[in-house]
Each structure stands twice: as C-alpha cells, then as structure tokens.
Amino acid sequence: MVKPQKDVFWKALVFTAIVFLLGVLFGYLLEADRVSKIEDNFEELIIDWDDAESLSSYFQTLETDFCDVAIKQNLKFGDKIYERGLQLERYEDSNRFLDKLDIEKKKYNLLKTKFFINSKIIKEKCNADYDFIFYFYLNDPELEVQEQQKVMSRVLMDVKYELGDKVILMPFVADMDISVVDVLLEKYGVESYPSVVIKENIRLDGLYTVEEVLEFF
Amino acid sequence: MEFMTFVYLFFILVSLYLTFLALTLHYKNRGMLKEKREPSFFPKISILTSAYNEEENIANTINAVLNSNYPKDKLELIVVNDESTDNTLEEMKKFGDKIKIIDKKNSGKADSLNHAAKFASGDIVAIVDADSYPNEDAIRNMVGYFEEEGVGAVTSTVLVKNRNKRLEKLQSVEYIIIAWNRKLLQFIDGIYVTNGPLSMYKREVFFECGGFDHKNLTEDIELTWNVLSKGYKVRMDLNSKVYTTVPSSLKNWWKQRIRWNLGGLQTMTKYKHTFFNPKYGMMGLFVAPFFMLSFFLSFIGLGVFSYVLVKKFFRSWLMTKYSYVAQSSFLRADQLNLNANVFALFAILLIFLGVLYLIYSNRYIEGKKIGFKDIPFFALYLLIYLSLYPFVLIHSLWRYFFTKKREW
C-alpha cells in the first residue's frame, strides 16, 4: 500500500531553500571578498602613490639631480595602477550581485588623474622622454561601442608593449563626472568613444591599428 | 542586480527544487523502489496489440508475450491487423489459435485497441505495442499492484532495444531516466503516463474512461489523465521491463517528439479544468500543473537561451569585425576571466548532481557499471541532447497553434 507522500514537497523545499540561500550567500561573500580585495589594493595604491608623490616633491624642491629615480618610481606606479585597473574590470565582469563597482572605479580614475598631473610635472622638471597616451572610454555604453572599446584597449596594450617606458598609458572613464577628466575631454574636444589622445595633441577617434598609432612616435 | 540575474536565479531555484524532490523521494522510498508485489491470485488478462506494417516485429512481440511466466490459461492475446500493406497478417496467422486475430480497416492505433477491447474477456486489459517485447516476468510483476485499493492502471519500465547508433544510445539513457523519474513520481501519485509499450488497466476502469481517445496523438497520456481524473491511482513496476524500438534517425526522432508534445498539449487542453482543482487530488494539484510548468519552463528557457546566444553571437561578430578593422587578434589569453561567481557555483552543483543521477539510475535499473569512459557520453546527453527539447517544443507549439496538421 503506497500512501501519497505529500511531506516530500515541503522537505524538498526546505533543502532547496537551504542550498539556494547558502549558494547565494557564498556567491555574495565571494563578490564581497573581491570588492574588499579591490579596496585593499586601492589602499595599497594610495600608500604607493603617497610614496611616489613625496619622492617626486622631494626631487622637485630639493634634489634635481635624481630625476632618474623619480621617473622610474613614477613609471612603476603607472604600471601598477594600470594593472589594478584591469583587475577591477575583470572583477566587475564576474560579479552578479554587486555588479557595478562605480565608486571603486571612480576612486581609481581620480588617482589616475593625480598620477597624470604628477607625471606631467616630472616630465617638465626632469625633461623626461616619455609621452602620454590618453584613452577615453565609456563606463556602460551600447553594445557596438563596448566591443570597439575592447578592441581599442587591446590595440593600446600592444602599443604600450612595443614602446615600454617611452609612453604612459592613461585609460580614463569619460562618463564618471570627474572634474579633471571633464577638463581633458573639453581640452581635446572628445565627443565620441573610444577616443585616443597621443602626445596631448593628436586625437584619434574610433579604431586604429597598432601600426597607425605607432606612426606618431 | 540585472534582470537576467533574477531569471537565472529563478531557473536555478526550480532546477534545485526538482532535483531535491527526486532525491527526497528516492531517499524516503529507497527500500520500495524495486519491491516485488507477488499477486495473491491470477486474474485473467487480455493483452491487446495493434499492428500496422509490423511484419518485422510482430512475431517477436507475440513470442515475448506468449513466453510470459504468467499462467497461460489466464492469458488472452488479441492482435489487430490495422489494414497493413505488408505481411503483418501472415506473420500473425503463423501463431494459429494461440492468439485471436482481428483483421480490420485502417483506423489508427487508438481506435484499433478500443475495438479489440470489445472482444476482451479478461479482468485486466493490457496494451503491448507491436514493436515492443516484455520480459517474461513483466506481466506477473505488474499484476500484484492491482491488489492495492484504488489502483486503476499499472505501467512498466520501457527500455531501448536497438542501441547501436549514437542517437539510439542517447535515447536509451533518456528512457532510463524517464523510468526512474516515473517510479519516483508514483510515491506522490504523480505518474502522468502509462506507456504504450506495456501498460495494464482494470477492465472496468478502461471502459469507464471510454478507452483511448483516438483524436489524441498520445492516447496513452490521455488515458492516464482520464484514469487519474476519475480518482484512480496509477502505479509502476521497475522490475517489469519492456524493450522497444526507438527512432534511429534524427528526422524520425524529431517527428516522434513533435507527436509527443502535440499529444501533451491536446491532453492539457482537454483537462484544463483539473488545473489546481483540489477535487482532482494530485492530478489537479501536481500532475497537470507540473506538466504545464515543464512546457512553460522549456519555452521560457529557450527564450532566455536564445537571447543569451544571439547576444553572444552579435558580440562575437562585432568583436571579429572591429578586430579585423584594427588588425588585432580577437581572442587573447589575457582576456580569459576565470573568476567564480554564483552561477558558476550552482552550475557545477547541478551538473554534478545531474551526472550522479544519470550514473545511479543507470546502475540501478540496468545494473550497468559506469566508468570514467562514460562521462563524455553523459556530458553529450546533458549538454547537447537535452538542449534539443526546447527546439522540438517550439516546433510543436507552432504546429499546435498555427497549423491543423495532427498526424502520427
């Protein structure tokens, strides 16, 4: 004799609820851990930045003979902030609950603007031979622009690989309401994305090949 | 959180629930899955078979039934020749007076079986498809279930006979899973189909239901819903095995599945009054809504899957186009993102449970030893074969709502 076992419906529901909630919680914690890692990275960058900036101020005000060290430290910081920026975007792509890390992005972009100003000062004071490549892109554009941005970002990575310390690559999110970025956008007349500004005077809108970009160096 | 995240989470939740429902049912009834219900007496059984151009199979089917270990004097075999154009009738005649032959004008399987039932003298009416071969103890094993109060129909475990081609092998895995699920559903009175290859009905229940609905493309599903809606129980015996021939080509497989879906839709429409109606017990509260939910989820699932796929293709196309313009490689190792997220966790869990389910049910029903070599085949089943279901459903819905084509 088999009696209908209606209790299995709620038992299954309880198991499902437990596993589902645990999974969601674990997923959430995983993402929260990544965000916390980004915050830790940022804290570390701030310390590095303070170090680089202090060193830079010291040489600017007291010791002009040690420009090489200041340039080297500055470039090292540039590589680090660029690498951490890429990591931030990868984490953002993986997240499902905390899907937009806008605040963290904004902090990184602000730090990049400070880094740019510092780099520019060092370049002038120490007569450094590096050039800037500004890369302006949108945070959340339509699909076509998104894919163009991805391709252009790869092109610029290859350019950076080719030129090494001769260039400082500065990717800026254009639509995050950051004053210095807004000033740069206006200064270079950037209206469409992706857009690249080479040596602070050549603007390239849309897609270009590595060779075409390298021609300007 | 994006809208699609909610959609994915919903599908994960439903998949988890159905998995845990099966696991709970299995755990609770693990000792009863293969129980043998030896009958205390042997009622007379009339076995009905309808054949249309089955010259290659009919003799084997008749032999399989006649070789049953059920008392021969309690067994009656009525075979219908549904105006075959081949040698089916001649094959039937070779059995002489061991069987009763009805030779009639073609009217389809359901109508032929109803016609044969009129000549049945048994207390139980059993249906055996003309291309199916029951094990020798199948009929005896099933009969014991009728001694349980309120049981109107008993069905069997259908397994695949032809297992040479890959598509046939995939169907053999599928049939095992279907049998396994069906047995588990028995414990919540949720069996929604008594299969065509071998099922039995109490004579009075069969006639109370009016036999098979010849307008329905899946007369076996319709009759089961009819039996359930009249308050009878349906049982299944895992030990009673019947081997059937499955489609060997994708074209025939597709055609068969379209028919199954169309029949399912016809049945749902006919019994829509039972949905969520407590008057019909588990039929109204579980079978009908579960059946509809599976259709609905397949449909929505295909929509989501198509959206994701189309978006992915469009992205890839754009990426290829722009990479070409910028003369940059469109695939790079540094673009690989292997960071885990909540979907990856659930996907791993569900695939793991799915593979375990496949391995366990295969071992349990067929006693097969599953090794690592079978994993790629199971992956093919889970990832490719099952993905075909929603496409068949779309085609079926199109046929159901926009064409009048209703044929076998």
Judged by CB atoms closer than 8 Å, whether chains meet at B5 and A97 is answered as yes
Residues A175 and A112 placed together within one structural domain of the fold: no
From A80, A100, A127, the end of a domain falls on A127
Residues A31 and A134 placed together within one structural domain of the fold: no
Chain A residues with CB under 8 Å of B5 CB are 96-97, 99
Query: Is any Cβ of chain B less than 8 angstroms from the Cβ of A37?
Result: no
Query: Is any Cβ of chain B less than 8 angstroms from the Cβ of A10?
Result: no
Query: Is any Cβ of chain A less than 8 angstroms from the Cβ of B299?
Result: no
Judged by CB atoms closer than 8 Å, whether chains meet at A27 and B282 is answered as no
* Spatial CA neighbour of B186 closest among B141, B147, B155: B155
User: What confidence tens digit (pLDDT) does each residue in A6-38 have?
Assistant: 899 999 999 999 999 999 999 888 888 888 888
Residues A84 and A37 placed together within one structural domain of the fold: yes
Q: How far is B148 from chain A (nearest CA, A)?
A: 6
From A84, A104, A127, the end of a domain falls on A127
Q: What number of C-beta contacts closer than 8 Å exist between A and B?
A: 132
Query: Is any Cβ of chain B less than 8 angstroms from the Cβ of A6?
Result: yes
Residues A142 and A186 placed together within one structural domain of the fold: yes
Task: Please give the ipTM for the structure prediction.
Answer: 0.82
Q: Quick one: pLDDT at residue B345?
A: 86
Any domain includes A207:
yes
Mean pLDDT score, B118-132? 95
| Contact (Cβ atoms closer than 8 angstroms) between residue A83 and residue A148 | no
Q: Which pLDDT band holds residue B407 (cuts at 50, 70, 90)?
A: low
**pLDDT > 90 fraction of chain B, expressed in percent and rounded:** 66
Structural domains counted in chain A: 2
Residues A100 and A147 placed together within one structural domain of the fold: no
Helix or strand (DSSP H, E) at A205: strand A202-205
Scanning every residue of chain A, which has its alpha carbon at the shortest distance from the alpha carbon of B17? A16
Scanning every residue of chain B, which has its alpha carbon at the shortest distance from the alpha carbon of A32? B341
**How much is the mean pLDDT over chain B?**
90
Distance CA A14, CA A55 (A): 60
Q: How far is A94 from chain B (nearest CA, A)?
A: 6
Judged by CB atoms closer than 8 Å, whether chains meet at A19 and B349 is answered as yes
Q: Quick one: pLDDT at residue B389?
A: 87
What domains, with CATH codes, occur in chain B? 34-289 (3.90.550.10)
Strands (E), B230-346: 233-244
Three-point CA angle B391, B396, B398, nearest 5°:
100
Q: Which pLDDT band holds residue B295 (cuts at 50, 70, 90)?
A: confident
Any domain includes A1:
no
Closest by Cβ to B339, choosing from A8, A94, A211: A94
Chain A residues with CB under 8 Å of B315 CB are 143, 146-147
pTM: 0.82
Mean pLDDT score, B124-146? 95
Three-class SS state of A173: strand
Residues A144 and A179 placed together within one structural domain of the fold: yes
Any domain includes A182:
yes
Any domain includes A5:
no
Question: Residue A167: how many CB atoms within 10 A of its CB?
Answer: 21
Judged by CB atoms closer than 8 Å, whether chains meet at B322 and A12 is answered as no
* Spatial CA neighbour of B189 closest among B137, B138, B224: B224
Interface test with A, best of B3, B4, B17 (most A CBs within 10 A): B17
Q: Quick one: pLDDT at residue A100?
A: 63
Residues A135 and A32 placed together within one structural domain of the fold: no
Query: Is any Cβ of chain B less than 8 angstroms from the Cβ of A23?
Result: yes
| Contact (Cβ atoms closer than 8 angstroms) between residue A118 and residue A74 | yes
Chain B residues with CB under 8 Å of A30 CB are 340-342, 345
Any domain includes A4:
no
Q: Which residues of chain A fall below pLDDT 50?
A: none
Max CA pair span of chain B? 84
Closest by Cβ to A155, choosing from B314, B318, B326: B326
Residues A161 and A108 placed together within one structural domain of the fold: no
Distance CA B377, CA B373 (A): 8
Mean pLDDT score, B258-275? 94
Scanning every residue of chain A, which has its alpha carbon at the shortest distance from the alpha carbon of B149? A1
| Contact (Cβ atoms closer than 8 angstroms) between residue B140 and residue B223 | no
Q: How far is B173 from chain A (nearest CA, A)?
A: 25
User: What confidence tens digit (pLDDT) does each residue in B34-85 have?
Assistant: 888 889 999 999 999 999 999 999 999 999 999 999 999 999 999 999 999 9
Domain that residue A143 falls in? 129-217
Mean pLDDT score, B107-116? 94
Any domain includes A2:
no
Any domain includes A59:
yes
Query: Is any Cβ of chain A less than 8 angstroms from the Cβ of B336?
Result: no
**pLDDT > 70 fraction of chain B, expressed in percent and rounded:** 96
Question: Residue B276: how many CB atoms within 10 A of its CB?
Answer: 11
Interface test with B, best of A6, A35, A147, A162 (most B CBs within 10 A): A147
Higher pLDDT residue, B216 or B333? B216
Q: Which pLDDT band holds residue B406 (cuts at 50, 70, 90)?
A: low
Q: Which pLDDT band holds residue B334 (cuts at 50, 70, 90)?
A: low
Strands (E), B217-357: 233-244
Residues A111 and A178 placed together within one structural domain of the fold: no
Judged by CB atoms closer than 8 Å, whether chains meet at B328 and A151 is answered as yes
Q: Quick one: pLDDT at residue A88?
A: 82
Any domain includes A183:
yes
Q: What tokens does B297 get?
A: 């989820």
From A110, A127, A144, the end of a domain falls on A127
Q: Quick one: pLDDT at residue A106?
A: 87
Residues A117 and A187 placed together within one structural domain of the fold: no
Q: Quick one: pLDDT at residue B19?
A: 92
Query: Is any Cβ of chain A less than 8 angstroms from the Cβ of B333?
Result: no
User: What confidence tens digit (pLDDT) does each residue in B207-252 have?
Assistant: 999 999 999 999 999 999 999 999 999 999 999 999 999 999 999 9
- CATH number of the structural domain spanning residue A180: 3.40.30.10
| Contact (Cβ atoms closer than 8 angstroms) between residue B50 and residue B115 | no
Query: Is any Cβ of chain A less than 8 angstroms from the Cβ of B292?
Result: no
Residues 29-48 (B) with a CB less than 8 A from some CB of A: 29, 32
| Contact (Cβ atoms closer than 8 angstroms) between residue B13 and residue A20 | yes
Residues A72 and A120 placed together within one structural domain of the fold: yes
Interface test with A, best of B328, B351, B353 (most A CBs within 10 A): B328
Judged by CB atoms closer than 8 Å, whether chains meet at B337 and A90 is answered as yes
- Let me know how long chain A is: 217
Residues A211 and A153 placed together within one structural domain of the fold: yes
* Spatial CA neighbour of B153 closest among B217, B115, B99, B208: B208
Query: Is any Cβ of chain B less than 8 angstroms from the Cβ of A142?
Result: no
The answer to whether the peptide bond before residue B71 is cis (omega within 30 degrees of 0) is: no
